[in-house]
Structure 1
Amino acid sequence: MTSKYKSLDKKLGYSFKDIELLELALSHRSVGNTNNERLEFLGDSILNFVIGEDLYRRFPDIQEGHLSRLRARMVKGATLAELGLEFGLSDFMKMGAGELKSGGYRRESILADAVEAIIGAIHLENNGDMSVCKRVILAWYQSRLDKLSIKDTLKDPKTRLQEFLQSRKLALPEYEVVKVKGLSHKQTFHVECRVEGTEEVATGTGTSRRIAEQVAAAEALILLGVDTRENV
């Protein structure tokens, strides 16, 4: 491992022997034909299997539908992007000039794809030895998996708020980013959410606009008197 990637090596909990393979995993399609899309495809399949197997063993008494929702929560782009931020992938991504100028290094979808591509690269470097991928992925996800419960199969706050308002023929919520603080690679978003049924404005903060909107939606449900422990 070259000195350039020592910090990434530590955060990933895995040291690449093939640096070119790692750099390929970190190459966005904007750099040209030699990019991480094929590795991303492979990593996505591996991630779904590893997380699915862990959930199957972790929750022996819940049905397939609940398991699917739990897995979707773990492997969705937003969760992968959070991992990408934790790994500091923005500092290592290779992108074309246009993508860099538009701030692609902090875009959730690009970070999420890179995490999946890294999984694919780990798989290839170990000649398809799933035990290595499994060890690395479960280490990344351990704290998130340990916090999961059957309650996590409930719909997310934004979906629940929208369905609650629609069921009462009220206007859809309006979200507005009112402030963005911090450096470009480590920002905090402040969002306001306005809904019919209350004059109070719900607010939320998060490391991405999506997360801040979810927090604001959860607060809006509380302002509307909705029991946030149950589906609306």
Structure 2
Amino acid sequence: MRNLFVFTNPNLLRMALTHRSYVHEHPDVETDNERLEFLGDAILNFLSGSYLYRQHADLGEDELTRRRAALVDEKQLANFAIALGLDQQILLGKGALRDGGNRSDNLLSCVFEAMIGAFYLDCNCDVEMVRPAVEALFASVPPELVNTRADLDAKNRLQEWVQSYIGHMLPQYITEKVGGSDHTPEFASAVYVGDRLYGQSRRHFHSKKEAERAAALDALSQIERMF
């Protein structure tokens, strides 16, 4: 894992590892990794979408979107950073280091994104040279872990939105068997906040969890249209 990304320009890697707290304490260092983080985020979103599109020809847009969100979420990117040993190489200011910055999922995920941005530049901005190493990391994530995170992502995001904009209420899911057999039942779900319908699964699913996840994602889509 640690040899997936080999830089020809070590200065780019050093820049990717340089947190702004380090720059503040070292006047001779002019650039932190925030611009590289922006670039790496865009590259990871593209590569993860492309990877999932090719790996799962049977999945629709909604499910691909959920899995992409799970594959590049903060926790997963932090895990990638640790697998590559970036947590041992980050350049942090004394305060950030004392506060455990090299163990922070947020900071580690940002450093990983910056490293991807730096590697893209090191590869003469050829994304196809970046793809093999990134996809090797994606392939190392157990599919069931991606599925679990995708499930939690939609329902958690909806709950967070409700609590932020409506108040201390929980989305309520009405999930029913609507077809199939006893061995292969099919479910549909609708999600309510109070008495208001916010979203519903647009097709039938073979598990309650999948139906509720689809309802939550539909609710989130409706909310995005309203705002």
Instruction: Say yes or no: TM over 0.5.
Output: yes
Distance 2:77 2:146 in 1: 19
Among residues 107, 119, 124, which one is paired with 1:122 in the alignment? 119
Gaps of 5+ in 2: 24-29, 163-168, 173-207, 214-227
Distance 1:167 1:50 in 2: 33
Query: What residue identity is the alignment partner of 1:123?
Result: Y
Query: What residue identity is the alignment partner of 2:9?
Result: D
Partner of 1:24: 15
User: Structure 1 residue 13 and structure 2 residue 4: aligned?
Assistant: yes
Please tell me whether Structure 1 or Structure 2 has the larger radius of gyration of its CA atoms: 2
TM-score by length of 1: 0.62
Query: What residue identity is the alignment partner of 1:11?
Result: R
Rate the CA distance shift 1:121–1:145 in 2: closer, same or farther, 3 A. farther
Partner SS for 1:11: coil
Distance 1:158 1:64 in 2: 17
Partner of 1:58: 55
Partner of 1:172: none
User: How far did 1:146 drift?
Assistant: 5.0
Rate the CA distance shift 1:101–1:135 in 2: closer, same or farther, 3 A. same
Deviation digits for residues 77-105 of structure 1 (CA, Å, limit 9, x no counterpart): 11101111222222110011211121111
Partner of 2:134: 137
Deviation digits for residues 26-56 of structure 1 (CA, Å, limit 9, x no counterpart): 0111122511111111111011101101111
Percent identity reads 36
TM-score by length of 2: 0.63
Map residues 1-232 of structure 1 onto 2, 5 A cutoff.
Answer: 11-32=2-23, 33-144=30-141, 147=144, 153-156=150-153, 159=156, 166=170, 231=212
Distance 2:142 2:129 in 1: 18
Gaps of 5+ in 1: 1-9, 169-226
Distance 1:61 1:40 in 2: 32
- On the 8 A contact 2:70/2:146 being kept in 1, the answer is no
Partner of 1:193: none
User: How far did 1:119 drift?
Assistant: 0.7
Tell me how large the CA RMSD over aligned residues is.
Answer: 2.9
Aligned length: 164
Distance 1:149 1:108 in 2: 17
